[in-house]
Amino acid sequence: MITILCAGSRGDFQPYVALALELQKQGKTVRIAGSREFELFVRSFDVDYYPLQADIESLQVDPELLKQAGSADNPLKMLLAFNKMKKYGIYMTREFYDACVGSELIVYHPGVTLGYFAAKQLGIPAVLASPFPLHKTRAYPSVVRYGRSKSSPRRNRSSHSMLQSMLWMASGSSVKSFWKQQFGGTPAGFGKPYERHDRPEQPAFVACSSHVFERPNDWNPNVHQQGYWFLEEPQDYVPPQELADFLASGDKPVYVGFGSVSPKDRKNEIAELIVDALEQSGKRGIISGLGALEDLPDTVIAVDNIPHSWLFRRTAAVCHHGGAGTTAEGFRAGVPSLIVPFANDQFAWAHRAYDLGVGAPALPFKQLTADRLAEAIRYATQPGVEAKARELGSRIASENGARACAAVIARLGGRKDSVTAAR
């Protein structure tokens, strides 16, 4: 059995479910381990799941810490938030280790470094799977510095060291504490594991397209980047009739939705701002994630939980918060992007969309006004931007990163699938 250790939100889990499905097509038995809140979602794709009983709810994590982590709009704030959160990690770390027992190979998210040391302890391969470019390179800045500082080979490499240190801070102390309790010391070679995936039997994978961030030449050859890992939605999806009628009744609309970071306590204010911007730009619109909205004009509709892979390609442009997964879906759809970053790596994807010529300049949420959003919509829907977005979408659609990476992982093997330890 291959065990995949995941962390984050539902959007963070989706690429790993895509990888698991491709591994199953390769004849492998696969299980994902993560927070219990995602068990039904993962199992709905017929992928086995190991739910951690220790999670944010059961550990009673201070809501203020979660708010700080979700609104950290610069590296220092991110570092401070991670440092405060790390004390909760040991409880999850023990369960992550239990999930590894009986596996033939461990695939781990960079925020769950326990996977590297558990694999070493169990004598099986460890595979790093990152949802964003992580390894040190002189080619471009890391996702916590991209677009925020001047690029230079030295600064770029240093910024990736910073990113790795932040991720290590979030998980390293939990590994150390657990290991002392379980084994009486620290793991052999204890330290950041990210650059140790430099051999064919211990590779690393990046769920990103080289048409978005070109794979750097100074990465070691065992770091694989062969495209995004898209989780395909059911082909028979049928939209609500109201939405279908709206899409058929006029020009393609602009999608506006900010995912899990939507400021629902300000939903009426934000909705009014969006409607104003759409009217100024002369565009129809779809507002997602703010729930039911009253007094919308006929040119705007409110929706919830519509698959991005289905909806985005039916729009004129997509305006969102810049989550890595949402950004990738926007790029694949071949439509222009308007990214309104709130925190963390969202700023990097906003700046990258603009640098690629497929989106408007970054418009941070703290600076969002109806006039600025209208200006961004007009910029993004220019013919030149639309053409570049279509070209990028076509290139990304030709890739299947999850399949390519699964083929490499399946060849690694370990020992034969073994019976997992009872919980």
For residue 8, pLDDT beyond 90? no
Position 419 scores a pLDDT of 35
- Going by pLDDT thresholds of 50, 70 and 90, the confidence category of residue 416 is very low
Position 415 scores a pLDDT of 43
**132-136, 145-149, 215-219, 238-242: least confidently modelled range:** 145-149
Angle at 29 between CA 52 and CA 42, to 5 degrees: 45
Q: What is the mean pLDDT of residues 242-260?
A: 95
- Going by pLDDT thresholds of 50, 70 and 90, the confidence category of residue 242 is very high
Residues 6+ apart with CB under 8 A from 360: 336, 337, 338, 339, 353, 354, 375, 376, 377, 379, 380, 385
325-370 pLDDT, tens digit per residue, is 999 999 999 999 999 999 889 999 999 999 999 999 999 999 999 9
For residue 113, pLDDT beyond 50? yes
194-227 pLDDT, tens digit per residue, is 999 999 999 999 999 999 999 999 999 999 999 9
For residue 423, pLDDT beyond 50? no
For residue 163, pLDDT beyond 80? yes
Position 232 scores a pLDDT of 84
| Nearest C-alpha neighbor of 108 from the set 46, 176, 183, 175 | 175
Question: Which has more pLDDT, 91 or 418?
Answer: 91
SS3 breakdown of the chain: % helix, strand, coil, rounded to 5?
45, 10, 40
DSSP assignment of 35-59 equals EGGGHHHHHTTT-EEEEES--TTTT
Position 75 scores a pLDDT of 54
- Going by pLDDT thresholds of 50, 70 and 90, the confidence category of residue 64 is low
DSSP state of 202: B
- Going by pLDDT thresholds of 50, 70 and 90, the confidence category of residue 74 is low
- Going by pLDDT thresholds of 50, 70 and 90, the confidence category of residue 88 is low
The residue behind tokens 């064919």 is 200
The share of the chain scoring above pLDDT 90, in percent, equals: 77
- Going by pLDDT thresholds of 50, 70 and 90, the confidence category of residue 27 is very high
Position 92 scores a pLDDT of 85
165-198 pLDDT, tens digit per residue, is 989 988 898 999 999 999 999 998 999 999 999 9
For residue 11, pLDDT beyond 70? yes
| Nearest C-alpha neighbor of 360 from the set 374, 346, 344, 345 | 374
Q: What is the mean pLDDT of residues 24-52?
A: 95
CB neighbour class for 235 (10 Å; exposed up to 12, middle 13-18, buried from 19): exposed
Largest distance between two CA atoms of the chain? 67
Please, what are the domains in the chain? Answer: 2-228+400-412 (3.40.50.2000), 241-397 (3.40.50.2000)
Position 126 scores a pLDDT of 97
For residue 72, pLDDT beyond 60? no
Position 262 scores a pLDDT of 79
Question: Which has more pLDDT, 54 or 104?
Answer: 104
Three-state DSSP class for 62?
A: coil
For residue 420, pLDDT beyond 50? no
> Where do the DSSP E strands lie in 263-359?
285-288, 300-303, 317-320, 337-339
| Token pair listed for 103 | 């596996």
Residue 339 identity:
I
Three-state DSSP class for 108?
A: strand
d(Cα 386, Cα 358) in Å, to the nearest integer? Answer: 7
Position 58 scores a pLDDT of 53
The share of the chain scoring above pLDDT 70, in percent, equals: 88
CA dihedral 410→414→417→421, nearest 10 degrees, is -130
DSSP state of 7: -
Position 70 scores a pLDDT of 52
Position 9 scores a pLDDT of 81
- The pTM assigned to this predicted structure is 0.88
CA dihedral 391→392→397→399, nearest 10 degrees, is 120
> How many contiguous H segments (helices) and E segments (strands) does the chain have?
15, 12
Q: What is the mean pLDDT of residues 155-170?
A: 93
Position 78 scores a pLDDT of 54
Contact 178, 114 (CB under 8 A): yes
The residue behind tokens 């939903």 is 267
Q: What is the mean pLDDT of residues 301-308?
A: 92
| Token pair listed for 304 | 């919830």
